[in-house]
Every structure is written in structure tokens, then in C-alpha cells.
Structure 1
Amino acid sequence: MHAAGSLRFTESVGTREEVWDRLGAKVRERVGARIGSLVEWWATDVSGRNAAVVLGTRAFVTVEPTVNAAGGPAHEIRALRLDESSFRRATVAAPAAGGPAA
């Protein structure tokens, strides 16, 4: 069983902000042009390869490390367009202390 505490899926080198900065200005600009307003984002560096996932109001974008035609490091950007008018919002509250969830 997992003990209470931080659940890590990858061992990233650096904070998400540091990894995001290492993606480079052009990659960040291309992502920013697609997402609309920022909702949430994640960035990780595993073995020197930077990747990111960004959720915005206009798109869900993934940035994955790849290799360009010359064999050098590059990033593949994929975007899934979203319809802002389809968004819904809900407030989620924890169950009352001392009893099971209803």
C-alpha cells in the first residue's frame, strides 16, 4: 500500500518552472498561441529530455521530445482543440469528518 505523502510518477530533474524554461522560447510561444487562457500545466525532465502538458481554454497541448531530420533534439507539439462553450464547472467538497462518504 502507498504510504501517505507525495506520489511521484517520474523523477524529474528540476521544478516544472525550470523544465518549462528549458523547452525554449519558440516552443513556449507556439504552445501559448494555441491554448487560450491557461487552466493547468505540468512539465518534467527525465534523463535530459523535457516534456510538458498544458491545458488551456482553447486546447489541450502535449510537448514531447523527439529528434529532427538532422538527428538533433527537437520537440513535437500536439494540440487537441477544445470548445470553450462546452466547459462546465463544479465544486467538489470532502465528506464530513467522522463518517463514510454518502
Structure 2
Amino acid sequence: MNTTILKGVHIGKNVIIGAGSLVNRDIPDNSVAAGNPCKVIRPLSEYYEKRKKVQLQEATELVVKYRERYGNEPDARALHEFYWLFSDSPEELDGVFLTYAGSLW
């Protein structure tokens, strides 16, 4: 969104570029870059691990709030955005997540 990529710049494979960035130099594969001028912030693997920790906290919070509000366990539909933390498929989420979340309390 509103990112400018200058002519002759090469953006590697598997790269995340921040919104509003001015990409004026090459960006290597597997990285997260942003800014004006754009620079590499961190490797994609480090970003993935950081997001995974945050998403795990968010998923745990959601389960707690869901239990408080509805008085039962959330199903796969309620947890659809978190399936990648526990499974390769959203259809497998019910058992995997509830087993994990149940061990937290």
C-alpha cells in the first residue's frame, strides 16, 4: 500500500515490504524490510517466530474470553485465524487446539 519501488531494484523471493516504503536498493530473499528509504529490519524466520509468540498469546486470550462469555470451548470457526500455530489444516484445529489450551488451566 503506497509503496514505491524504484527502477532497477530487485526484491528477493519470500519478502515482506512495509506499507509506505521507498524501495531504493535490492532486498535479499527471506527478509522483512520497510522504511523511507527501505532497509532490512530482520530475517523472515525471526519475524515468523516473533509473530508466532504473539499469536499464541492472542489465541490463549481468545479461548479465555470465549469460555467466560459462552461457558464452553471454542470450535474451529472461532479459532480459524490461529490454526497455523497447531496444524497444517483448519479442519484439524478442534482437537489440537483444545488439547493444548486445556493444559494451560
TM-score exceeds 0.5: no
- TM-score in terms of structure 2 length: 0.31
More strand per residue: 1
Larger RCO (CA under 8 A, 6+ residues apart): 1
Higher Cα Rg, which structure: 2
Higher helix share: 2
